Amino acid sequence: MAATFAWVEDTGTATGGHGTTRTNPATDANWKNSGVVTDAYSAYPITAGNNSFQKVLYGKFTSGSFNQISAGLFAHTATAFADPTHTTLKGVAACTTAGGPYTYVTPSAATDANLTVDMTAVIAIASGVAVWFTPTGPETASKAATQDGTADRYTNFLPTQLQTAVGIPAGDTTQLTLTLQYNEN
């Protein structure tokens, strides 16, 4: 039996290490000039030269559907940006003993210096950033590369931000594939 998985999104003002609005399951992964989940991206375009608000997603695994979850990786794995010299996708750094998890901040269009990984290029999932798992929520400082299935488990936050340069053609970006890979048993 496969682990029951859902993408969840946090938005809104940071409180207690997470967003005030938690959307489960997440409805989309569109980058836009707004942090409101229900705002259509087409109504909140990113002006050339500016950035999107951070899109703060994470994964939730429902207890009872797995024994153990481990070996998480996150990467941009398919479809290159049409104009990569005017587009940069930034993402969360690897979760390690010394680094991470990402600390939630109220999303905004300002460059998020904590998103250090350049996810613009399509890469092999094996060279994606390490994703660790938390016992009670993505905002929890407690983290481990492996978690058992005795309770609901969560990935660390997996935020991304689309950054653009002046000169980017108007219109939607290419639709990308971002992959979260994990082992379950």
Partner 1 sequence: MKLTKTIFCANDQAEQVHDLSASPSGEVQANCQVCGRLIKFPAGVSRDDFDALVAAHKDANQGQVTVESIEKTLAELADSPVKAKEDEFNFTDGSGIEEPIE
Q: What are the residues binding partner 1 (CB under 8 A)?
A: 47-51, 80, 84-86, 88, 90, 93-94, 109-111, 113, 116-118, 120-124, 126-127, 129, 163, 165-166
| Nearer to partner 1 (CB atom), residue 49 or residue 64 | 49
Nearer CB in complex with partner 1: 48/151: 48
**Cβ-contact 66, 3 below 8 angstroms:** yes
Distance CA 132, CA 74 (A): 10
CB atoms within 10 A of CB 87: 18
3-state secondary structure of 169: coil
Nearest approach, Cβ of residue 161 and partner 1 (Å): 9
Kindly tell me which of 19 and 91 has the beta carbon lying closer to partner 1: 91
Indicate the residue among 129 and 131 with the shorter CB distance to partner 1.
129
Residue 68 CB, shortest distance to partner 1, in Å, is: 27
CB of 156 to partner 1, least distance (A): 15
Spatial contact of 134 and 156, defined as CB atoms under 8 Å apart: yes
Cα 105 off chain centre by: 13
Report the candidate in 58, 78, 34 with the shortest Cα–Cα distance to residue 174: 78
127 contact partners, CB below 8 Å, separation of at least 6: 75
Identify the helix (H) or strand (E) that includes residue 105. Answer: none
Least Cβ distance, residue 30 to partner 1 (angstroms): 20
Q: Report the residue number, 29 or 93, with the smaller CB distance to partner 1.
A: 93
Q: How far is the CB of 87 from partner 1 (least distance, A)?
A: 8
